[in-house]
Amino acid sequence: MKNEGRNGTGMEWVRDYIRDIPDFPKKGIVFKDITPLLMSPAPWRRVIDGLVERHKDDNVNKVVGIESRGFIFGAPLAYRLNCGFVPIRKLGKLPSDTVRASYDLEYGSATVEIHRDAIQAGERVLLMDDLLATGGTMAASCQLVEQLGGKVVGCSFLVELAFLKGREKLAKYSIQSFIAYEKE
């Protein structure tokens, strides 16, 4: 599968709607806050329209949104692509029978899970999250989709922290991001 480049997306304007929050959630981390984008109707609509345009020919059966900001982008994308939406959540947050995967973070470890009946064998699945950092959360999420028999057709992000090399963990998937930060 192709691992698409970050440049030339025509979406560099998105940077104007992302603010840096230093030392959040812990000292030394610069959090990329997307709430200014979400509070701005025209740019927010333009991002969703851009996602739809990017994925309209992927024949997606389900969009999987990664907790929690992946829900913000994944749900309207699924609606516009006329397909189902599936949440992947942190451990203990889903009410029915689940499968789970654990992974390492920059500052610890975590577990995500998905309902066992959320993806049917052979379904084409697009995974959506707001930000690609080290790739651990998305790699675990792809593993869950494949464990249920789904085919990952791509992983889409609004922001990529390229200096953390998350693409390396996702090299076998088609990766798309609107904007990338090449250095801290």
Eight-state DSSP code of residue 15:
G
78, 51 contact by CB (below 8 A): no
55: closest CA among 151, 132, 155? 155
Active-site entry in 54, 69, 89, 167? 69
Tokens of 160: 């990529």
174: closest CA among 48, 38, 57? 57
Question: 69 catalytic, yes or no?
Answer: yes
Question: 46 catalytic, yes or no?
Answer: no
Active-site entry in 12, 53, 106, 146? 106
Per DSSP, what are the bridge partners of residue 64? 86, 127
C-alpha–C-alpha distance, residues 56 and 61, integer Å: 11
Report the alpha-carbon angle 121-68-134, nearest 5: 80
167, 3 contact by CB (below 8 A): yes
* Active site positions, annotated: 69, 106
